[in-house]
Amino acid sequence: MSTRTLFLLPGDGIGPEAMAEVVKIIDHMNTDAAAGFVTDTGLVGGSAYDAHGAAISDADMAKAMAADAVLFGAVGGPKWDDVPYEARPEAGLLRLRKDMQLFANLRPAICYPALSAASSLKPELVEGLDILIVRELTGGVYFGEPKEIIDLGNGQKRGIDTQVYDTYEIERIAGVAFELARTRSNRVCSMEKRNVMKSGVLWNQVVTATHKDKYSDVQLDHMLADAGGMQLVRQPKQFDVIVTDNLFGDMLSDVASMLTGSLGMLPSASLGAPDATTGKRKAMYEPVHGSAPDIAGRGIANPIAMIASFAMCLRYSFNMIAEANRLEKAIANVLDQGIRTGDIMAPGARQVGTTEMGDAILAEF
């Protein structure tokens, strides 16, 4: 049995509580199926700042780079609202994405049948919803330079951020979206603001050319990102795979996640390019939700997004497809049984805490 190395970065707030439930599943897979997972744990976000004065230490960064996969919890909280910009909790997350070159962020927005009534949308609009947002994660306005605040004198300052996209960056994320579409309903919708942004014009051209060159079997549509936000709310089931840039992906995936009624339950995968010789890709898996400082430490957080992120890890980093499917099925079963954490509590359901939810899923797994 080969060794599979996992680097755990539980982070702040509810991150550690959610991660503990994944650790139970990992231990179980090692004991029960000799899965050979070897884990190490580091610090990220506010907890790293408290320990090292940085949102992630170089030593932990090196471990993340070396691991087969990183599991990431959540970062941030009011305690660190006033730390210097360069050391703010999010800087740890952004450094991981950038240094590991995790350019492809996969954010499924699925509606668990047991939760369709929890959506703020009418149930018929979201029942069976299964969208995959493919967000570019290492470019755009997140990382472009100049990015600064200049003092202009006279009490005036100037804040500057730069959106930059090169052809190859657009090509490779489009490729990921088209490949994934082929495993699903074979449709990609690309979103940008080409009517206002030059990077949007280039985005549109490169996606179109990539499609023509290599993926003309996939159906491709283009939509302006603002119209896309609208359409996500109007008729979300029209979409299969959505491919978009870093900032639009941030906005659109948050809107999409809210449609599902499963906010706090959605996982994500951030993937690098396959290594030219080994074929391995660097990868990090994290819940879409944040650190929820208001409920941290009380044992009531919903661990499902973190567990579902581990299912994505099984699928994308270790090609353990059967196990990934089984874990996702276990989550759906537990929801069908009416077992709920407080955030997704419904009349007639049984309310449990973080640990019981983890145990229930493990029992079904």
Ligand X SMILES: CC(C)[C@H](C(=O)O)[C@@H](O)C(=O)O
242 lies in the site for a second copy, by CB under 8 A: no
Q: Interface with a second copy by CB under 8 A: which range of 26-34, 107-115, 231-239, 348-356?
A: 231-239
Among positions 50, 90, 213, 294, the unique one binding ligand X when judged by CB under 6 A? 90
Give the 3-state secondary structure of residue 66: helix
Select from 118, 130, 247 the least CA-distant residue to 187. Answer: 130
Residue 58 appears among annotated catalytic residues: no
Assess 360 for contact with ligand X (CB under 6 A).
no
DSSP labels, 316-363: HTT--HHHHHHHHHHHHHHHHTTEE-GGG--TT-EE--HHHHHHHHHH
One-letter amino acid at 3 equals: T
293 is in an annotated binding site: yes
Per residue, the 3-state secondary structure of 169-216, as one string, reads: HHHHHHHHHHHHHHCCCCEEEEEECCCCCHHHHHHHHHHHHHHHHHCC
- Tell me which of 12, 63, 68, 193 is the catalytic residue: 193
- Least spacing, CB of residue 190 vs ligand X, in Å: 17
For the chain, the first-to-last Cα distance in angstroms comes to 21
Q: Of residues 324-353, which lie at the interface with a second copy (CB under 8 A)?
A: none
Partner that binds at residue 156, options ligand X, a second copy, none, CB closer than 5 to 8 Å by kind: a second copy
Q: Who contacts 279 (Cβ-Cβ below 8 Å, separation ≥6)?
A: none
- Could you tell me which of 100, 42, 46 has the C-alpha nearest to residue 78? 46
Tell me if 45 sits within 8 A of 79, measured CB to CB.
Answer: no
Is 85 marked within a binding site? yes
299 labeled binding residue? yes
The question of whether 168 is a catalytic residue gets the answer no
CA distances from 227 to 66, 179, 222, 230, 255 (A): 41, 25, 10, 5, 13
Binders of ligand X among 25-54, rule CB under 6 A? none
Among 40, 226, 356, 359, the residue binding ligand X under the rule CB under 6 A is: 226
Q: Is 229 in the site for a second copy (CB under 8 A)?
A: yes
SS3 of residue 73 by DSSP: strand
**Closer to a second copy by Cβ: residue 33 or 160:** 160
Active site residue 254: yes
Site string for ligand X, 189-208 (x = CB under 6 A): ------xx------------
Q: Considering the rule CB under 8 A, would residue 153 count as an interface residue with a second copy?
A: no
Report if residue 166 touches a second copy, rule: CB under 8 A.
yes
Q: How many residues bind a second copy (CB under 8 A)?
A: 60
The verdict on whether residue 275 carries a ligand-binding annotation is no
For the bound state, the minimum distance from the C-beta of residue 254 to a second copy, rounded and expressed in Å, comes to 4
Cβ pair 357, 334 in contact under 8 A: yes
Q: Is 40 a catalytic residue?
A: no
Q: Which amino acids are annotated as binding site for NAD(+), given as ranges?
A: 77-90, 290-302
Residues marked active site are found at: 142, 193, 226, 250, 254
